[in-house]
Amino acid sequence: GENVEQHPSTLSVQEGDSAVIKCTYSDSASNYFPWYKQELGKGPQLIIDIRSNVGEKKDQRIAVTLNKTAKHFSLHITETQPEDSAVYFCAASSGGADGLTFGKGTHLIIQP
Amino acid sequence: DAGVTQSPTHLIKTRGQHVTLRCSPISGHKSVSWYQQVLGQGPQFIFQYYEKEERGRGNFPDRFSARQFPNYSSELNVNALLLGDSALYLCASSLRGVQGNSPLHFGNGTRLTVT
């Protein structure tokens, strides 16, 4: 089955700086890669997703890049703000019956 | 529009007991998926239902079962509870099944504690 590795497990950045979270996946059949933000006491919230026919997608301060050859995708957050502090999860799916496979999460801390 | 709603929000059970968790999807969404999230880990896939049929199952024992009703709401049942079943149980809905990769929208979960 699919295996998703996510790094780093904790990331601390100064407010206003950029943050990058990286994930790798193992199943070459995976074709859908969402990113979720989870705040304390809440469920994961979808913030951006990318499909394998696209290399990059941007939504305001958030962007995701995908390298299918290397089986690698990344989340980029620019001009970080205190409200960006949360746990971020990457995930991958081949559209089959196995659902989404999630990484272990990155705790993003925005230092004022 | 209301998001995905789950009940109860918290639950404490004793080993060996049975539990039923409930989920109402976003209006218009026909697929419901269940995930287990152990503290400090990412969610792990348990089941997916689409149009009231099971369309996918993760690596969980037969003690876990689920069903989807005609109004697209869903229940997750866990029998013979073990301490290791303590986790946040998340329900997610989507327009279509995971096949086709329709985005999943999660509820805030049910926190199950087994003592």
Check residue B98 and give its pLDDT: 56
Check residue A8 and give its pLDDT: 98
Q: Does the N-terminal peptide bond of residue A112 adopt cis geometry, omega within 30 degrees of 0?
A: no
**B105 near B94, Cβ under 8 Å?**
yes
Q: Which of B87, B98, B24 is nearest to B54 (CA)?
A: B98
Residue B42 CB neighbours (<10 A): 22
For residue B1, what pLDDT band results from cuts at 50, 70 and 90? low
**B96 near A37, Cβ under 8 Å?**
no
Please report, as a single letter, which amino acid is at residue A9. S
Task: Residue window 49-78, chain A: list those with CB within 8 Å of chain B.
Answer: 49, 51
pLDDT digits (tens, 9 = 90+) for A50-64: 998 889 999 999 999
Check residue B97 and give its pLDDT: 65
pLDDT digits (tens, 9 = 90+) for A18-49: 999 999 999 999 999 999 999 999 999 999 99
Cβ–Cβ below 8 Å for B43 and A103? no
Handedness of CA A33, A75, A69, A52 (dihedral sign): positive
A83: CB partners within 8 A, 6+ apart: none
Check residue B84 and give its pLDDT: 97
Q: Which two tokens stand for residue B43?
A: 């969610």
Cβ contacts below 8 Å, chain A against chain B, sum to: 70
Residue B37 has pLDDT above 70, yes or no: yes
Closest-approach residue (CA) in chain A for B60: A98
**A32 near A49, Cβ under 8 Å?**
yes
Q: Does the N-terminal peptide bond of residue A8 adopt cis geometry, omega within 30 degrees of 0?
A: yes
Contact of A29 with chain B, judged by CB distance below 8 Å, is answered with no
Average pLDDT over residues B43-64: 94
Cβ–Cβ below 8 Å for A99 and B99? no
Cβ–Cβ below 8 Å for B104 and A95? no
CA-CA distance, B84 to B24, in Å (whole number)?
26
Residue B100 has pLDDT above 70, yes or no: no
> Which residues does chain A have within 8 Å of residue B9's beta carbon, measured at their own beta carbons?
none
Higher pLDDT, B81 or A99: B81
> Which residues does chain B have within 8 Å of residue A99's beta carbon, measured at their own beta carbons?
33, 35, 45, 48, 56, 58, 98
Average pLDDT over residues B22-50: 95
